[in-house]
Amino acid sequence: MGIFAQLLVNGLIAGGTYALAAVGYSMVYGALKFINFAHGSVAMVGAYIAFVLVAVAHVPVVPAFFAAMALTALVGVLIERIAYRPLRNAPKLSSLTTAIAVSFVLDAAVMIIMGADIRSFSLTGVTSYQVGPVYVTPVQGAIIATSLVFMVALYVLLTRTKLGKAIRAVADGGNLAEICGINSNVIISCVFAIGSALAAASGALIGMDTNLQPTMGFIITVKAFAAVVLGGLGNIWGAVVGAFLIGIVENTGVWFIPPVWKDSIAYGILILALFFRPTGIFGKKEDTQATVL
């Protein structure tokens, strides 16, 4: 029973990192109605920025974490402005192909600059603490706390601020939002900034908990995409639920299958979701426009 409790907690920890990435994924889809397959690579870039700040510039971990979020937000805005905005009225296949290309470019750039070797934050003084039958490290505790804090902050942003209302208006219909005086370009840039910052948080936390490598963005993309599809495309809170479900199922699943197959569980969940409920848990067949709430 103690082992299962540990696996369940590991699932919550993994779900927290997946949720941070999935939320940005879902926000971009809600605003532009296309799948940003470069999102995982943006998370990887954020992780490496945090690593460079900590390991090379010797910036303390917490300031480096938030600086990485800010710098990655800028990266996300630049990607939207340079790669996606010119194709906004083009066929969706063009945007999808561009997103894949952006992912390859980011992966290659990091590999050229940092090399292909696996990196580690090598945080000193990190020990596990026992809570009942469960062992948790400070980083893992920070993952759970950070994901919850950011989810609450995002909820407040989307429901209680003018920016949040503008984001929801653009998600409901960009043309109508423009008629109401909302600058869609500015709002979409804000969506990319927020989504990219949360992706950087996800990537940095994963890197601190495990390790870093230039190909880690692909795994983040798969997990986040599976969470978004499971929860319902464009539904932020559905993406959060989907992320935690995937994290719990894949970690408790190693009780029954060899750990080497752990990452394949997300693929299985994605296939089952598309087969049995392609609209996702919170999606509706009659919906023609995805919403962010």
Domain made up of 2-115+135-276: CATH architecture: Orthogonal Bundle (1.10)
Q: What is the pLDDT along the chain (293 residues), one digit of tens a residue?
A: 678 888 899 999 999 999 999 998 899 888 888 889 999 999 999 999 999 999 999 999 999 999 999 999 999 999 999 999 999 888 888 988 999 999 999 999 999 999 999 999 877 656 777 777 888 888 888 899 999 999 999 999 999 999 999 998 888 876 777 777 889 999 999 999 999 999 999 999 999 988 999 999 999 998 999 999 899 887 888 999 999 999 999 888 877 887 778 778 878 888 888 888 888 888 665 444 444 55
φ and ψ at 277, to 5 degrees?
-150, 80
Write down the domain spans for the chain: 2-115+135-276
Q: What is the pLDDT of residue 163?
A: 93
* Cβ-based neighbour number of residue 64 at 10 Å: 21
Q: Report the C-alpha gap between 1 and 104 in whole angstroms.
A: 43
| CA 232 and chain centroid, separation | 15
Query: How many CB atoms within 10 Å of residue 62?
Result: 9
pLDDT at position 284 is: 63
Helix (H, G, I), strand (E, B) or coil at 201: helix
Contact indicator for 201, 146 with CB cutoff of 8 Å? yes
Per-residue burial over 16-42, b if 16 or more Cβ lie within 10 Å, else e, is bbbbbbbbbbbbbbbbbebbbbbbbbb
* Number of residues in the chain: 293
Which residues make beta-bridge pairs with 136?
129
